[in-house]
Amino acid sequence: MPTRQNYDPPKCTGPSPVGLILTGGGARAAYQAGVLAGVIELLDPERRPDFCSPFSILCGSSAGALNAAAYACSAHAPHEAVERMLHIWSGLRTGMVYHADPWRLFRTGVRWFSMLAAGWLAPSLRNRQPRSFLDNEPLGRLLEKLLDFDKLAENLESGWLDALAITASGYSTGEHITFYQSGGGIKPWRRSLRRAVPTRIGVDHLLASSAIPFVFPAQAMLVHGHTEWCGDGSMRHLAPISPAIHLGAEKIFVVGTSYRDETHPERRTTDSNFPSVAEIGAHVLASIFQDTVASDFESMERVNRLLALLPPNVLKTQSLRPVSTLAITPSRSLDELAMAHYKQMPRAARTLFNVLGVSSRSGSKTGAALISYLLFEGSYTQALIELGRADSMSRAEEVHAFFKETPG
For strands 57-61 and 18-22, give the pairing. Answer: parallel
Q: How many CB atoms lie within 10 A of CB 65?
A: 32
DSSP track, 217-244: --EEEEETTEEEEEE-TTTT---TTHHH
The C-alpha atoms of residue 131 and residue 212 are separated, in whole angstroms, by 12
Q: State pLDDT tens for residues 320-371.
A: 666 788 999 999 989 889 988 999 998 888 887 887 788 776 555 677 888 8
CA distance 19 to 274: 44
pLDDT in tens, 120-135: 555 555 555 667 778 8
Q: What is the pTM of this model?
A: 0.84
Q: From CA 86, how far away is CA 382, in angstroms rounded?
A: 8
Higher pLDDT, 215 or 405: 215
Burial class (CB in 10 A: 0-12, 13-18, 19+), 299: exposed
Angstrom distance (rounded) from CA 349 to CA 206: 24
Separation in Å, CA 286 to CA 293, 296, 308: 14, 18, 36
**Distance (Å, rounded) from C-alpha 392 to C-alpha 381?**
17
Segment holding 57, helix H or strand E: strand 57-61
Give the residue among 289, 267, 258 at the shortest CA–CA distance from 368: 267
Instruction: For residue range 239-290, list pLDDT tens digits in order.
Output: 788 899 999 998 999 998 888 644 444 444 545 677 776 777 777 776 666 6
- Report the alpha-carbon distance of residue 201 to residue 106 in Å, rounded: 34
Q: How many C-beta neighbours within 10 Å does residue 37 have?
A: 21
CB 29 within 8 A of CB 258: no
